[in-house]
Each structure stands twice: as C-alpha cells, then as structure tokens.
Structure 1
Amino acid sequence: MSRYSLHFPIRVPDDVLVELGEFTGKFWSDSLGQEPFVIEAIRNYIKPAPPAPQQPVEATEAGYQWKQVFLPEGTRLRASFGRQPYFATVVGAEIKYDGHAVSPSCFANLHGSGNRNAWKAVWLRLPGSNEWLLADVCRSARKAAIARLHGDGAQADSQRSRAPERLPQGLDQPPPAARQFVPRQTEIRSPSVSAAPKGNGAQPKSSSGRSARRRKRRAAKQSPGNP
C-alpha cells in the first residue's frame, strides 16, 4: 500500500464507460461505484491470471474420412471468401455447416465460383490443438507416413526372403568332410629304345649269329683229333 495518495484524472471514452456500466450494473456517472471494477481490470491487465489447464481430449472413433486424412469428431474446418472466414465442425461422421451436412468440396465452394480445390482452400484444426493446418499439408504428411509404413514392410519381407532357411537344431552344421577317393595313377613307361619289338617274322640279330660261329671254330680247334 503506497503511503502517497495520487489523484490524477484519466480520460476514458464514453462508449467504454457505458459498456462498463452495463457489465457491472453501475451507471456510468457513478465513478465511485465503477472504481473497484476499473482497478480490477487494470491489475488483471498488468498481471493476467494463468490460463486454465486444457482438459485431455478423450479418444473417439467417430469422425469423417476424407480420402487419406481422417478427421476426428470435433475437428474444425475453416475457409474464407472475400477475407471473411466461415467455419464447419465434424459431428459424428459428418461435416456440419449451419446444421447441414456438407462435403469438403461443398464447404470450400459455399461462396465464389465453385471451382476451388478443397485441399488448397480448407484449413483444419484437430481436437485438442490450437494450430490450424492446411488440408493439403495434412494429406502430404499422411501420404509420407503410409509410404514409410509400406517401405519398412517391403524391406523386412525382402530381408526375410534373402535370409537362408534355418535348419533344425543339430542339422545346422555341415557334416565333416569325407575322404575323397583319388584313384592311383599307373605310370606308363615308354618302351626302351634298345629293345627290339617282337613280332611275326622277326629276324635274329646278326651279332648273335657271328658269336655262335666263333664259338664253334674255337671248339673245333680245341678238339683232340684236330691237328
């Protein structure tokens, strides 16, 4: 509490005083009656109250299936025409605008020439989120997630197909190497050059005939009756 009392007039527009009087029930000319509300408003502006914690959104299976993108119940849709936004909400399994069920394309073309692409014209705010996302961005993210899912599955199948089939326990080791039978190779010798081939009509060597005659002559000379 300040020990000084400062009194400075502050000008407030007439329309604000009238609105404050209607809100508080104090007539605008009753400055003393409106003073506590003015002080409270100033203090709340200087030090605003902390925001209330968001309640967790319960998971629900209800919603609208828009091609690859699923819009859970409670999803807000926003489009605009002439810089004036208009909104729709997913209720159950339908998109409701002004109490009527509409398709995304119908909602995007409620105003204008009717040839707008809903993916490019509609913004989405999912339940529990404060962020608006273009519908086309949500579709691209969903397509990428589906491609990754199918890509991982195909890669796993490819790896399983390349993996060798595992044998039962005890048969997964190859048997010891068996001794290989190597037939003995018989050495084939070429015939000797000095050996004469034997065959029909073979003639005895001439050297053998001369030796026989010499032996006969020596035997005849050594005979006792021969002078």
Structure 2
Amino acid sequence: MSALDIPVRIDAELLRELGDFTGILWSNIALEPIICEAIRAYMQPPPADQAQAQQPAASDAGYQWKQVFLPEGTRLRARFGRAPYFATVQNAEIKCGEQSLSPSDFANLQGSGNRNAWKAIWLRFPGSGQWVLADTCRAQQNTAITQLFKQAPQAS
C-alpha cells in the first residue's frame, strides 16, 4: 500500500475526542492507523442484519475476569514505555488484533512478561469515556460482593 504525503486538516476538538476515546494523545502520530481504520469502517459498514445476527444478547456477551465482568465492547489499554497498546472484548474473548488473549497475556504482550494484569491494565466500559484501572474495578466489585452478603438474610 502506498501513502500519499498530503496534509489533511482535522478539527482540534475532534482530535481531542479521538484521543479520549482511544487513550492515545491526539498529538501522537500513533493516531494515524486509528483514523485510517475509522475511515475504512465508515466506507464499509457491515450490513445491519448480518451485524445483529452475529452478536449475542448484549447482557450475555463479555469476558469474565475472575470477579470482574467485562461486557462486550470493553476496551483494554496497557503501556510499555511510552507506547500504549489496546484490546477489545469481543463476544467472550479479549482480542488484540486477531489474537485472543487472557488479561495476563495482554498485560505482558510487551516487555519482560512479569507484570500484574490488575495493576497494568486500564479498562473503558461501553458507553463510558473514563479509563479505570482494573485493580480499582476489582476492589469495587469485592466491596459490592461483601455488601451483598452482609445484607442477605441468614439461613437457619
């Protein structure tokens, strides 16, 4: 594939929004492949009936990571050095490109291979613009589970 060296102007606010969406700073050249992917997706959207037929029910689709459920569409982000890399929950898998990975595999995709996934992965849930550390989600879920059992009536 050849590349043309033609400057294209993009509104600064749109670049900031894209940076917030992807977790990549808008001034980083790494946005180029994301912009190209978005243009291709816009030009070739899947047929509506085909896209819906392939998707399980929204409430059922996702990846269970110990006590934290990652609904389909959840984005995962980790960094090695200054370079972020991403994955997405698709159906019941964490996909980074064509690879299906466990959270640990994803966290250690770059680097030495001894990173704690709970401390290395940030999550952005569908419909949210906020990135949250996986360990924070786990702690919140543990608190919710504890509260649930405290409120449950004791069986005799």
Task: Report the TM-score, using the length of structure 1 for normalisation.
Answer: 0.44
Which one has a larger percent strand, Structure 1 or Structure 2? 2
Aligned length: 109
Offset at 1:157? 2.4
Alignment correspondent of 1:121: 120
Instruction: Tell me the CA shift for residue 101 of structure 1.
Output: 0.2
Q: What residue in structure 1 maps to residue 154 of structure 2?
A: 157
Distance apart, 1:69 and its partner CA: 0.1
Deviation per CA, 1:183-202: give whole Å up to 9, x if none. xxxxxxxxxxxxxxxxxxxx
In structure 2, what is the Cα distance between the partners aligned to 1:114 and 1:134? 19
- Alignment partners' CA distance in 2, 1:73 and 1:61: 9
Question: 1:59: how far off?
Answer: 3.9
Q: Write the distance in 1 (CA, Å) between the matches of 2:132 and 2:64.
A: 17
Aligned to 1:19: 7
Q: How does 1:83-94 map to 2 (within 5 A)?
A: 83-94=82-93
How far apart are residue 83 of structure 1 and its match? 1.1
Q: CA RMSD in A?
A: 2.6
Q: How far apart in 2 are the matches of 1:86 and 1:145?
A: 30
Listed one character per residue, the Cα deviations across residues 38-77 of structure 1 (whole Å, up to 9, x for unaligned) are xxx9xx88xx9xx9xxxxxx84311000000000000000
Q: 1:147 & 1:132 partners in 2: Cα distance?
A: 24
Alpha-carbon distance between aligned partners in 1 of 2:59 and 2:122, rounded to the nearest angstrom: 21
Q: Deviations over 1:78-116 (max 9, x none)?
A: 000011000000000000011110000000001111000
Per the alignment, residue 20 of structure 2 pairs with none
Q: Secondary structure at the match of 2:135?
A: helix
Contact kept, 8 Å, 2:58 with 2:72, in 1: the verdict is no
Tell me the equivalent position of 1:63: 62
Aligned partner of 2:132: which letter?
Answer: L
What CA deviation, in whole Å up to 9, does each residue of 1:111-169 have, x standing for no partner? Answer: 1110000000000000000000000000000000000000111xx328xx6xxxxxxxx
Counterparts of 2:133 and 2:142, CA distance in 1: 15
- Equivalence for 1:103: 102
User: Is contact 2:68–2:141 with CA below 8 Å preserved after alignment?
Assistant: yes
Unaligned 5+ runs, structure 2: 1-5, 18-56
Q: Name the SS for the 2:78 alignment partner.
A: strand
SS across alignment from 2:76: strand
Of the two structures, which has the highest relative contact order with CA contacts closer than 8 Å and spacing of 6 or more? Answer: 2
**2:103 partner letter:** P
Q: State the alpha-carbon separation in 2 of the partners of residues 90 and 129 from structure 1.
A: 15
Regions of 4+ moved over 6 Å: none
Query: Counterparts of 1:113-192 in structure 2 under 5 Å?
Result: 113-153=112-152, 156-157=153-154
Contact persistence 2:67–2:138 (CA under 8 A): yes
In structure 1, runs of 5+ residues without a counterpart are 1-17, 24-40, 52-57, 162-227
